[in-house]
Amino acid sequence: MKPRPLLTSHLLLLTLFMPSPATAQSKDRALEHARKLLESTPLIDGHNDLPWEIRASKTAPRDVAAYDLRTRSPKHTDLGRLKEGRVAAQFWSIYIPGDIKDSGYARVQLEQFDIARRMIARYPDRLAPAFTADDIERGFKHHRIASLLGMEGGHAIENSLGALRSYYDLGARYMTLTHNVTLDWADAALDSARHQGLTEFGREVVREMNRLGMLVDLSHVSPATMSDALDVTEAPVIFSHSSARALTDHPRNVPDSILERLPKNGGVVMVTFVPAFVSPDVAAWDARLQEQVKGVKASVTDTAQQTRLVEEWKATHPVPSATLKQVADHIEHVRKVAGVDHVGIGSDFDGIDSTPEGLEDSSRFPELFAELIRRGWSDTDLKKLAGQNLLRAFRGAEATAARLQKIRQPSTKTIEELDGTRPST
């Protein structure tokens, strides 16, 4: 029979190119190791935008009951996938856009607190409100996801330290100093540098956050703002969702010069999964897209035609893919430059439209830890990455607040008093 040699050669090729049973078993062992590890130490994710996703739902906007987390959600996060991902604590982002003009920021900010708090209260068997590092460990002990709130963007305080304190009382335990818009007192990474960092009022914001025990979050701010905040702060800072600029030259990432300062401060960079922040190819594509959008808006006034032209460009220029391995590379770079005590994880799930291959949703955290296990990471270092580093920084902020509240009253300083001019409108 003549076909037999051909069949034999095909079988030989399959044998050569299929992973060996030993290799497959090794990969399974790494994943099983990761899952077991995350059952013994709390995994803390620094940033998830689910409250805004609920607000923007196309079927039932703002309806916490309709956005049922006991079923599979439209994007990245629900109770089943959080459980599969071994998530022990989650900072839910209380995000509001920096360009809301209808009624100021406070109304929308308070609505986002309301959505997040109602979401947490709706699932008392699975989610536990959390305000302290001890609350995180208590939730982990009782198999409930410790749910913390983090404000994304200092525009929400509307240049008021009283508003800042009120948001802390509502549960905010970090505030990202800016989002993508430069403020009257702080420069953003993706906007113009009007102040070359923080103004004196911006420094007072950091000092008051230290006094409250609110973590200073330096994701989204310019490198000069990062540097100024590190000069002023008496407590550890965090980057709730940023990656390493040395690997992907994106303005939202953290330069090595800042990473080198973290050991003295005690802060933590929570490496994010945003494709444009972890993949140079995606970052380059994103930059080209922004140029295309800018050019279209400059030459075409009709918004429908603008959208059509941009979509046509995207159809002929498909976006590259980011990968789990690239996220692991960023984690290893932060460990190399800042040290293993200063790296964590901040996914940005539900705040991104695409995800790295292998990190498609909140069920996939163990796969990332399995990759690091294959790269030789010890259990001791993996536990620091998972959550121990964030817990240490959080406790550092709490200890700083306890000390400062004995010697400082709440600040009543105003931006006019400290910066000398009326803020821009």
Cβ–Cβ under 8 Å, residues 183 and 141: no
Cβ–Cβ under 8 Å, residues 92 and 149: yes
Please tell me the number of Cα atoms within 13 Å of 195 on its side-chain side: 27
Catalytic pick from 76, 155, 195, 220? 220
Instruction: Count the helices and strands in the chain (H runs, E runs).
Output: 19, 9
Question: How is residue 113 written in tokens?
Answer: 């607190």
- Any catalytic annotation for residue 28? no
Cβ–Cβ under 8 Å, residues 192 and 185: no
- Any catalytic annotation for residue 416? no
Residue 373, helix vs strand vs coil: helix
Catalytic pick from 45, 47, 342, 371? 47
- Any catalytic annotation for residue 155? no
> What is the distance between the alpha carbons of residues 187 and 312, in angstroms, rounded to a whole number?
34
Catalytic pick from 217, 332, 348, 367? 348
Catalytic pick from 53, 78, 152, 184? 152
> What is the distance between the alpha carbons of residues 289 and 294, in angstroms, rounded to a whole number?
9
- Give the rounded distance of the alpha carbon of 98 from its chain centre: 17
The residues, any chain, with a CB within 8 Å of residue 283's CB and separated by 6 or more, are 248, 249, 250, 276, 277
The CA-based diameter of the chain, rounded to the nearest angstrom, is 95
Catalytic pick from 195, 241, 250, 333? 241
Among 370, 385, 283, CA closest to 331: 385
H-run or E-run covering 390 = helix 389-404
- Any catalytic annotation for residue 53? no
Among 135, 161, 160, CA closest to 148: 135
- Any catalytic annotation for residue 187? no
- Any catalytic annotation for residue 152? yes
DSSP of 150-207: EEE-GGGGTT-HHHHHHHHHTTEEEEES-SSS--SSB-BTTS--SSSSB-HHHHHHHH
Catalytic pick from 179, 250, 330, 342? 179
| Burial environment of residue 224 by CB neighbours within 10 A (0 to 12, 13 to 18, 19 or more) | middle
DSSP of 253-314: SBPHHHHTTHHHHT-EEEE---HHHH-HHHHHHHHHHHHHHHHHHHH---HHHHHHHHHHHH
> What is the distance between the alpha carbons of residues 322 and 358, in angstroms, rounded to a whole number?
9
- Any catalytic annotation for residue 330? no
Query: How would you classify the pairing of strands 43-48 and 87-95?
Result: parallel
Beta bridge partner(s), residue 239: 269
Catalytic residue IDs: 47, 49, 152, 179, 220, 241, 348
